[in-house]
Amino acid sequence: MHKGKVNITLDEDLIEYIKSYAEEQRTTVSEILTQFILNLKRTSEKEPMEIILADPDFKESLLDCISKIRSGKMKWHTYEEVF
């Protein structure tokens, strides 16, 4: 995907905060803004599933579940047992 450049004006304290936050998170200011805007886009386009899939806790839980299924540690139940 082709990338472009956007110039924005922010208060100095916000600039320092976002730079510090990016460094703490080992990411870039650009990536933080990209993720924020994508989240805003998903919300405005009413795509809640994308928001759920982007949640780190959900992702970790999903990967844990997949791991249990692959290892055979998952206990399966019939429809009748569940309902």
The CATH number fitting domain 7-44, selected from 1.10.1220, 1.10.287, 3.30.2000, 3.90.950:
1.10.1220
Percent of the chain with pLDDT over 70: 88
The domain limits of the chain are: 7-44, 48-75
Distance CA 36, CA 52 (A): 14
Six token digits for residue 20: 């510090």
Calpha distance 33→18 (Å, rounded):
9
DSSP 79: H
7-43 pLDDT, tens digit per residue, is 999 999 999 999 999 998 888 999 889 888 887 777 7
The encoded tokens of residue 22 equal 């990016």
Measured CA to CA, the distance from residue 69 to residue 45 in angstroms comes to 33
